[in-house]
Chain A
């Protein structure tokens, strides 16, 4: 049953993703991409378990590496997206 349940979530989320993103103006393609990229760092939430075990050194090291890579993805992704979006200015806000 677990498999069916997880697949159910998968299918619904994919459809939701298509609906959400289909109408993004070209101006925002890069921030959308890097913002979505930051979200893919969600693997971090799953990496903790592996990194927090003590009974197997190899598993722990793999987990620690996963935490590091995922954190780079999350922190870097969100910051760089924010930095880009900070530059998008409307005419009324005026340029410098």
Chain B
């Protein structure tokens, strides 16, 4: 049996491990083992990859692995849980960059056929887009650049021109695929610009869609690289990731009742305002809030991105425990697009040691929201906005929401009366049963906790 044969059998084993690993990631009880299995699959694939015929020098490989491992391990250990979305974006980008480079380097391994040239182009295009797109997503998520949607007149025309440029340079390269072709460099540049252009028109609150889409792209880039170098495991693993990313993207879009095209191209900035809202805002003091909490027997927390900003997850959990000890039933209702990436709130609450049984999904809480004595909205806005249900003129009409307005009492923790990301007014704040607890969420909750103490 040749070494190549053994390597290919090893790839089969790692494909099986990836598949089981992903499957086990589907349940909280087995997820951690699933991730371990998948990393074992990766180890096997990497060792098998090292036996490839034609490798004569290991210095650069070992150097690259050492540098990459140090950076990756440090980043993974040091990142704060609240910065997880931007970390995931960066890892995504680095996967895209790797696929781009593999595609590019393939040109130096000898003459390539037209088919291989096309797959190399795809690896460069998707990889390059993923790379720069992820960097922009990182910038927006970490607020190093403005997280609002950037839309300008003629944007569609510019994008179309870039696309045409990509097609033309791709064609010119494919008819003469050599490493020093100037068309290759044009292609490379355009792919990177395209990644930037694709992400700038997308605003902060739509980030869950973009992150999962970029995740999908990084898989597809690996897939294209797999075609370019004729490697099965890259194709299998890449398409698994691509499929996973697309499913997540779809879940996120559904949770906002918007099509993917709408998220990607509309910018969601200048929207018409729905009905003007009339009514009175009823503020509440920390002390009064305490009395209501003290008497409540069913409390539901509804967190949003504001909880991450205020770093309030630990005090929220502390209050939750106090309320439980006080005899109340406590749950945490999480909207699928709350936060800046899929499952963002779940990770933050898990970090604060909230057991996952208490984390309930939108569809589970809505039917029994009438039984909730106090719904506590922490830094969430659009995902609890009743206009989505009632006001047909509202730009977010049709988006499924957590119906906190149907709870007996709603506390809204908020810094000021500014509207949410979408710029839509929220009638919830003016509701009969709504009480506004103004101020920093963390301080307000700490205040309530000290009243209990």
Chain A interface (Cβ within 8 Å of chain B)?
2-3, 6, 9-10, 13-18, 20-54, 56, 58-91, 93, 95-96
Contact = CB atoms under 8 A, between A and B. Distances in A.
A90 B76 contact: no
Interface residues of B, number: 117
Interface stretch (B165-173, B281-289, B344-352, B418-426): B344-352
A89 B344 contact: no
Contacts of B291: none
Interface in B84-131: 84, 87-88, 91-92, 94-95, 97-99, 101-102, 104-109, 115
Interface of B: 11, 18-19, 21-23, 25-29, 31-32, 34-36, 38-39, 42, 45-46, 48-50, 52, 54-58, 60-61, 63-65, 67-69, 71-73, 75-77, 79, 81, 84, 87-88, 91-92, 94-95, 97-99, 101-102, 104-109, 115, 179, 211-212, 215, 218-219, 221-223, 225-227, 229-248, 251, 317, 334, 336, 341-344, 346-347, 350-351, 353-359, 361
Nearest to B18: A39
Contacts of A87: 81, 347, 350-351, 353
B76 A76 contact: yes
B68 A45 contact: no
Contact of A76 (B32, B72, B242, B342): B72
Provide the main secondary structure of the chain B interface.
helix
19 contacts: A17-B22, A21-B247, A28-B26, A34-B84, A37-B218, A38-B42, A42-B45, A45-B234, A48-B49, A48-B50, A49-B49, A52-B52, A53-B56, A54-B56, A71-B65, A72-B75, A76-B75, A88-B31, A93-B355
- Report which residue of A14, A40, A60 has the largest number of chain B beta carbons within 10 angstroms of its beta carbon: A40
Contacts, number: 403
A79 B68 CA distance: 13
Contacts of B342: 26, 29-30, 32-33
A9 B236 contact: yes
Contacts of B238: 40, 42-43
A25 B361 contact: yes
Contacts of B23: 20
Contacts of B222: 40-43
A84 B240 contact: no
A93 B354 CA distance: 11
A3 to B, nearest CB: 6
A79 to B, nearest CB: 4
Contacts of A73: 72, 91-92, 94-95, 98, 218
Given A59-B109, A68-B64, A72-B68, A25 B101 contact: no
A10 B225 CA distance: 12
A53 B355 contact: no
A88 B93 CA distance: 26
Given A52-B56, A82-B32, A58 B108 contact: yes
Contact of A28 (B25, B49, B69, B71): B25
Contacts of B34: 35
Given A39-B42, A71-B68, A59 B108 contact: yes
A37 B215 contact: yes
